[in-house]
Amino acid sequence: MITTALHNQANHPLFKRSLPRWLTILVLSITLQACDRGPPLELWHTTKLHQEFSTDLAGEVTTLADYLALEDRLYAELEREVIAQVPTGPAQQFARYSSGSATDPRDDNPDWNRSFELPHDTPRGHVLLLHGMSDSPYSLRAPGLALQASGYHVLGLRLPGHGTIPAGIKDVQAADMIAAVRLGIAHLATQPGDLPLHIVGYSTGATLALDYTLDAMTDDSLQIPASLVLLSPAIGVHPVAGLASLADTLSAIPGLGSLAWTDVMQEFDPYKYNSFPSNAADVVHKLTQSVKKRLAARAGSDPDVILPPVLAFKSAVDATVTTDAVVDNLLRLLKPDRHQLVLFDVNRIAAGKMLLAADPGPINQRLLDDESLPFGVTFIGNANEDSLEVVARHKASYSGPPGPRQSLGMKWPPYVISLSHVAVGFAPDDPLYGGVPPATRGQLYLGNLALRGERGLSTIPPEWVMRMRYNPFYETVEKRTIEWIESAGKDV
């Protein structure tokens, strides 16, 4: 049956135009088997919500107020077309789209899937928060609240396709998100006072922050940010992301619809999609490639200022984006003495007891040895090979070895071997992803899960459980972010 299917699909016009026949057969032989094993698509994978913002609506949606009004209609459509169609009851207790379930975000006040604004009576500046692909504004909730408490007017923008259903990012395009970012910044620019603008971006949100800033550096009509804070910035993604466009194209062929998804999972996380479409991977890949080329071109033209001050936070191990790209395709290109990288190493005691598949030692050593770096680096890791105590070592730009160790008054938690791409911006006391379950009994908790039992029993995959969800050293992220924005604001 599979051989017959391969023969039939290999003669499809899409294949004849795009791939050699032998490669077509190889690709199909792998993907058809993967499709056979994949879980079925649900309503939230197949429904198209028509009240989502896109560039097609740019002429009608011209202000943040318009955007939020459209967002209201979008959530009403979500309620009508999806949530009202999903069964309820004990069997759906951990189903995100089942009304009244433990993972129903509508029970939260506010619902952090939606855009939020945190004003201040006497703001010192404006901060735009941009979350990552498949995330929601919740991912920058903690930095946003801290910045508001420090005197800033904060806007956490929900990017198009997000905070609703995974199908939302099956069709989203980079242009849609870029246009939404412009609306958010335009809104902040209309606020009273001539105040500096700062952007905090996580993952793809960091890429969008760079994309906007590169535009602003050459367009007098756009406000140049006073600073950028980038958490786990998507500057370079895994090369396999370059195949996402092909997979998305192949998904149009009868029988290969599952190729439209790189991951299909149960949706039990109220503020992040677990399923991930090929289109989203393709959008991230193209956006990172575009920003990479634009950064290189701007640096090559040697302007007085390439970018405003950049502070980047990165886990040395990251299955989503690479540290080398952050160094080589961003920070190394910038003018000296204006930019900083904070790098979280692995727990060397825990890691030393196991064989690591991806030890970040080489990139760490490369940064330690390189005296030509035009940016400063702060290494955060074990005080020594026998201690769980965590210290910071700072290496100034164009310098040799780092300075003396500075104790952070923190230790690695037991059994934690590293941070992750998703952990950097979440505090240990985060009620959903933190290190300790919330005091409120029955409240959903997805942080430090320690599940044991037989394979296949839990709906949560083992790799999901193992991935670190919070940053034990988040205090450093918050403190450095506020100090960075304060300092940059004084220089404007």
**Is the pLDDT score of 20 beyond 60?**
no
| Closest residue by Cα to residue 284 from 313, 314, 245 | 245
- Average pLDDT of the chain is 87
Q: For the segment 75-103, what is each residue's pLDDT rounded down to a tens digit? A: 999 999 999 999 999 889 889 999 999 89
pLDDT of 361 reads: 72
**Is the pLDDT score of 375 beyond 50?**
yes
**Is the pLDDT score of 53 beyond 80?**
yes
Q: Tell me what the mean pLDDT of segment 386-407 comes to.
A: 93
**Is the pLDDT score of 33 beyond 50?**
no
Q: Tell me what the mean pLDDT of segment 133-145 comes to.
A: 97
pLDDT of 39 reads: 78
**Is the pLDDT score of 5 beyond 50?**
no
pLDDT of 25 reads: 46
- Straight-line distance from the first to the last Cα atom of the chain, in angstroms, rounded to the nearest whole number: 67
Task: Tell me the pLDDT band of 12, cut-offs 50, 70 and 90.
Answer: very low
pLDDT of 365 reads: 86
Q: Give me the residue spans of the domains in the chain.
A: 2-37, 43-491
The residue that leads in pLDDT, 143 or 351, is: 143
pLDDT of 441 reads: 62
**Is the pLDDT score of 4 beyond 50?**
no
| Closest residue by Cα to residue 236 from 332, 141, 127 | 332
Q: Tell me what the mean pLDDT of segment 198-226 comes to.
A: 97
Q: Which CATH number is associated with domain 43-491?
A: 3.40.50.1820
**Is the pLDDT score of 2 beyond 50?**
no
* Helices (H) then strands (E): counts for the chain: 15, 12
Helix (H, G, I), strand (E, B) or coil at 479: helix
Q: Tell me what the mean pLDDT of segment 214-218 comes to.
A: 97
Query: What's the helix, strand, coil split of the chain in %, to 5?
Result: 40, 15, 45
Most confident of 36-40, 184-188, 381-385: 184-188
**Is the pLDDT score of 14 beyond 50?**
no
